[in-house]
Amino acid sequence: MAVDKWTLLGIPADVPTAEATAENYVLTGTSEFSHEMENELRESIKGNRKDWSGGVVEETISVTFPYDPTFRADRDFKEACKYGRQMRFWIIDNTLIDTGETATHNSTFAYVIPESRSLSVDDEEDNIEVSLKVKLNSADGEEPKLPDEILDPSLAGQVAYETIGQETGDLETVDSQNV
């Protein structure tokens, strides 16, 4: 499935509950991600043959996204990776289950700890590539419907035209803008 069919959220574990919202911590412009589960098999010899049994299961989530230091979510995510801080992480399928008030998304949740982070820079953008190890296991569930501006970024706040001298102040404080 295409990456734009998914929404990823990474919230550092020390972020207060009131600030831990999808709007504040969605990873914007994710270009790649994967969720890998690996079973470390145990080998045993029976006669002249090898037999295998299940062992330890390990999960890794890898994410690549454009780093924009003007977004708090990107800064906090990078900081958590830099200092090896635990995070809460959601992989959310953007397809809605049901409609109306009961609409939800299939989702996977995990507590993660950063294993590695790399920043790659080229002529056009800065990308962060992160490998996150899942603590114990991930859990599948349902997440309430995400805000429309996350599901369709074209609905996010946009600047309206204003004439020269019409306003004074920052974008977030002027009356003519609805951002």
**pLDDT-above-70 percentage for the chain:** 91
Give the model's pLDDT for residue 1.
42
Arithmetic mean of pLDDT, 25-33: 77
Q: Model-level pTM?
A: 0.78
Q: Which among 137, 143, 80, 144 has a CA at the least distance from the CA of 110?
A: 137
Residue 50 identity (one-letter amino acid): K
* pLDDT exceeds cutoff 90 at 174: no
Partnered with residue 131 across adjacent β-strands are 62, 116
Residues 6+ apart with CB under 8 A from 106: 92, 93, 95, 97, 140, 142
* Signed CA dihedral, 91, 13, 116, 130: sign only: positive
Residue pair 72/24 in contact by the 8 Å Cβ criterion: yes
Give the model's pLDDT for residue 32.
85
Task: Render pLDDT for 65-107 as a digit per residue (tens, 0 to 9).
Answer: 888 888 888 888 888 888 989 999 999 998 999 888 899 999 9
Residue pair 85/13 in contact by the 8 Å Cβ criterion: yes
Q: Which among 22, 111, 10 has a CA at the least distance from the CA of 64?
A: 10
Give the model's pLDDT for residue 109.
95
